[in-house]
Structure formats: C-alpha cells, structure tokens
C-alpha cells in the first residue's frame, strides 16, 4: 500500500490507544493522517537527570580514568548523557575517554548516536536487544576491566550483575529516569475504554509504558474486563520484542513490525486494521 493511498482514511472508524510520551505527537499525527481516532494516554514520564549528582559523579569518573568497554543501550540516552556533560563542561573529556574504549551498541539507533559524537562502535546487536548486547560483551575478557553501561529509564541488574560476576568494574550511567505521569486520568480512561470494548488496538513504543499500563489496569475496577479485551478483542502492536516483553509475559498476543521503527509500526496497524 502506498503512502498516498494509506493516508486516505484507511483507519477511519478505528480507535487506537497509545501510551508513549517520547515522540507521542509524531505518533498521534501519523495515525490521524490515516483516519484513526487516537486516545493518547501516557503511562510514563521521562525525567532528564542533568541535575543529578550521581550522573555528574559517574561522568567525572569516566572522564578521570581509563575505560575499557562501553555498552550503549539507546541513542536518545547516549545523546542525553553527552548533552548533560556539555552543561558541566565535561563533553570533550567524556568523548576523549570513550574514544579509547571498545564500544558495543544495541542496534542502529544507538550506533547512530555513537557515530554522531565522532566515535566508532566495535560491534552492534543485529536484533537490537539488550540480551544480544550484553551476551556479546560478556564474551570479552572482563576481569579487572572497566565497563561503562549507559542506561535509559531504569537499571538493568539482570545484565550488569553478570558483568560484575565476571570480574568487571561496572560504572552505570543513567541520563534519564522513567516515572509515572503526574496525571493518570488519561491512562485510567484508556483502561476503562479498553474494558468497555471501545478500543480496537493498543500501540506501544516502550516496555516501561506497556508494563505501567498493565500494572495500572490491575488496580482498576475494570481489571478483569480489561484482561479479557486484551485476550480476544484488542490488537496489541509493539515496536519491537523488547517493548512487547511485559505483554508476552502476561500471555497477551502481540504483533510486531519487521523493522523496529515508528513508521513501520504505523504501517503495521494500517495493514492489520485498515479498511
């Protein structure tokens, strides 16, 4: 289906709920161009941590001593880290320190951010998953080595602890943190609409957003009907397998685009629900 034909109202009459904060306006606009009724209901809020003493201290530690390996999990997080370092006058020293390390990235977005800073990656995860990234890093000789792990939103103890067990000194850098939105009214409204059979699809672009919607629904009066709707009525479309994990763990069927991109997710929804 061409862009012109798919933008002529293929999703007219289709209601889609989204839980994203980052790039939400872009996502909503793309779906509305196809005629969809979109229910924006953020379930996470991304909080920059440029004023966080822990992030500043970790950055100074990276600048002041040698680094052997760097794991970059997200492009946005890596750029956010460099932006924070720029505010502190540490950007030049940070990129200089990282340039002497072997850089491992979680797919093209992280790779693009690394290259955009003038660095070069040694290896990038072809499937764009954290498991691939850290499994590959764990094959290196890490004993006594200094490993910097750039986090995005939340700690990853299931991946960082095994590195420590292999003898690495792990420095965790978290430029952003996920938090609940200040106002959960839209998210609660989305739960109620799903339970009432008023939503045709839910579209997810981050695992924390998916997990938070499920957790929120668990505490609502419509919890049982919400779960039933996800089981047999609502199409749950996720940008990639990492995003889908909280739903899959609940036994919810999901659909994934071939490429882990927002545009591909929109095309998938058009293909599945378009008229």
Q: What is the pLDDT of residues 104-132, one digit of tens each?
A: 999 898 999 999 999 999 999 998 889 99
Sign of CA dihedral 199, 201, 206, 212: positive
Facing residues of 172 across strands?
149
| Domain segments of the chain as ranges | 3-44+180-273, 47-178
pTM of the model: 0.70
Given a cut of 50, is residue 6 above it in pLDDT?
no
Report pLDDT for 152: 79
Residue 205 to residues 55, 66, 116, 265: CA-CA distances in angstroms?
Answer: 25, 35, 23, 9
% of the chain exceeding 90 in pLDDT: 71
Helices (H), the chain: 3-6, 24-33, 53-64, 75-87, 91-99, 108-116, 130-138, 157-165, 185-195, 207-218, 223-232, 241-249, 262-273
- pLDDT, average across residues 81-106: 94
Given a cut of 90, is residue 164 above it in pLDDT?
yes
Query: What's the pLDDT band for 31 if we cut at 50, 70, 90?
Result: very high
Can you tell me which residue has the tokens 């750029």?
A: 79
Q: What would the DSSP string read from start to end of 82-149?
A: HHHHHHTT-HHHHHHHHHTSEEEESSHHHHHHHHHTT---SEE-TT--HHHHHHHHHTS--TT-EEEE
- pLDDT, average across residues 128-148: 94
Residue 68 phi/psi, 5-degree rounding, is -95, -40
Given a cut of 50, is residue 237 above it in pLDDT?
yes
Given a cut of 50, is residue 19 above it in pLDDT?
yes
Given a cut of 90, is residue 155 above it in pLDDT?
no
What is the rounded CA–CA span in Å between residue 157 and residue 172?
A: 10
Q: What is the CATH number of domain 3-44+180-273?
A: 3.40.50.10090
Would the CATH topology of 3-44+180-273 be identical to that of 47-178?
Answer: yes
Q: What is the CATH number of domain 47-178?
A: 3.40.50.10090
């Amino acid at each position: 289906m061409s862009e012109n034909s798919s933008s002529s109202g293929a999703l007219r009459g289709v209601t889609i709920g989204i839980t994203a904060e980052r790039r939400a306006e872009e996502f909503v606009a793309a779906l509305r161009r196809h005629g969809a009724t979109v229910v924006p209901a953020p379930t996470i809020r991304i909080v920059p941590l440029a004023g966080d003493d822990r992030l500043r201290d970790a950055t100074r530690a990276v600048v002041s001593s040698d680094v052997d390996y760097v794991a970059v999990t997200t492009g946005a997080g890596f750029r956010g880290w460099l932006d924070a370092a720029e505010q502190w006058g540490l950007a030049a020293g940070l990129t200089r320190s990282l340039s002497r390390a072997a850089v491992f990235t979680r797919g093209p977005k992280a790779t693009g951010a690394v290259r955009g800073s003038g660095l070069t990656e040694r290896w990038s995860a072809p499937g764009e998953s954290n498991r691939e990234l850290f499994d590959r890093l764990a094959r290196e000789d890490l004993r006594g080595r200094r490993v910097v792990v750039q986090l995005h939103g939340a700690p990853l103890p299931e991946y960082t602890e095994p590195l420590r067990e292999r003898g690495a000194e792990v420095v965790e850098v978290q430029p952003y943190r996920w938090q609940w939105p200040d106002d959960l009214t839209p998210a609660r409204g989305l739960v109620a609409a799903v339970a009432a059979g008023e939503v045709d699809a839910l579209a997810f672009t981050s695992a924390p957003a998916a997990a938070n919607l499920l957790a929120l629904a668990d505490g609502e009066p419509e919890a049982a009907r919400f779960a039933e709707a996800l089981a047999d009525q609502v199409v749950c479309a996720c940008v990639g397998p990492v995003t889908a994990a909280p739903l899959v763990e609940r036994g919810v069927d999901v659909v994934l685009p071939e490429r882990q991109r927002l545009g591909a997710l929109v095309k998938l929804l058009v293909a599945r629900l378009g008229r």
